[in-house]
Amino acid sequence: MTRVLVTGAAGQIGSALVPALREAYGEAEVLATDLHPPAADTGPFAVLDCTDGRAVAAQVAAHRPTVVFHLAALLSAVGERKPQTAFEVNLGGLFTLLEVARESRFAVFTPSSIAAFGPSTPRDGTPQDTLQRPTTMYGVTKVAGELLCDYYHTRYGVDTRGVRYPGIISDSPPGGGTTDYAVEIFFAAVEEGRYTSFLKRGTQLDMMYMPDAVRAAMEVMEADPARLVHRNAFNVTAMQLTPERLGDAIRRHLPDFELDFDPDPLRQSIADSWPNRLDDSAAREEWDWRPQFDLDAMTDDLLRRIRERVGARR
């Protein structure tokens, strides 16, 4: 990668990926884009609607990227409230970008999600290649996006790659996903000493700490293409968590932390349709994927970061 463009750069993943890309490849080489400008000047930025083909083509012509990280999307819970918009942004935006990539010949990273699976998918050790029948608009757009990326690679030779992310935990505000509780719980623990989970006890989901999510995106784009059998939608994961496991990990640092439960029917139904554990052996075999953070290492690092952030605001 020499020149990079990022769509959806202000989102949870983008806000962490852009600094990592700039550290690796140089600030001037990485153009961040989103619907609205950032509150502060953080480097090269352009306002961009990823569903506007002419605007996308213009930014590509101006910046001349060799790879685009396409992160613009509506997440699962928001997508259920706005399914038509989710379809337009998640799938229409990807189609628009792939059409520009077909003409301009740049590589494309597209994140898929654990939401691409559904209740009929094998739940424990979900294979790389298996039945996918999601029950949310977000999941539908992710499955269609995986197939679309495969098509543009086999039909037009576009270098499309991607991963299926589990829930991502970070010190950035969540964006309306079903796994948001795993971010909110850390902020609530530091600021209030208690948290009410919108998922019920025992709800197990795959999770990953943001530094690993960023590494996965960068590493799959740098991988030797000769080794890639799947190219798109690699299962990746790091840990399997329930709200109680997170609560116990936090209590090792904050003994008085209290965890309550008030399940939200919509988000609980979405979580219940997803696998308990992904099998990421294909990513490990084809591009040497390995997570670096387990639950304890993540909790240590994240609580430190959030304490620093909260202290800076006070």
Is 209 annotated in the active site?
no
Cα 7 to Cα 239: distance, rounded to the nearest angstrom: 28
Dihedrals phi, psi of 168, to nearest 5 degrees: -115, 130
Judged by phi (left if over 0) then psi (alpha if -120 to 50, else beta), residue 156 lies in alpha
State the burial class of residue 193 (Cβ atoms within 10 Å of its Cβ: 0-12, 13-18, 19+).
exposed
DSSP output for 57-99: HHHHHHH--SEEEE-----HHHHHHSHHHHIIIIIIHHHHHHH
Of 138, 152, 165, 195, catalytic: 138
In this structure, the number of other CB atoms found within 10 A of the CB of residue 55 comes to 16
Q: Which of 134, 128, 115, 14 is nearest to 69 (CA)?
A: 14
Query: Are the beta carbons of 50 and 6 closer than 8 angstroms?
Result: no
Kindly compute the dihedral angle of the four CA atoms of residues 137, 141, 146, 152, in this order, to the nearest 10 degrees. Answer: 160
Amino acid letter at 239?
M
User: Any residues with CB less than 8 A from the CB of 120 and at least 6 apart, and which?
Assistant: 131, 133
Kindly compute the dihedral angle of the four CA atoms of residues 182, 185, 190, 192, in this order, to the nearest 10 degrees. Answer: 170
Cα 31 to Cα 237: distance, rounded to the nearest angstrom: 28
Helix (H, G, I), strand (E, B) or coil at 298: helix
- Active site amino acids: 138
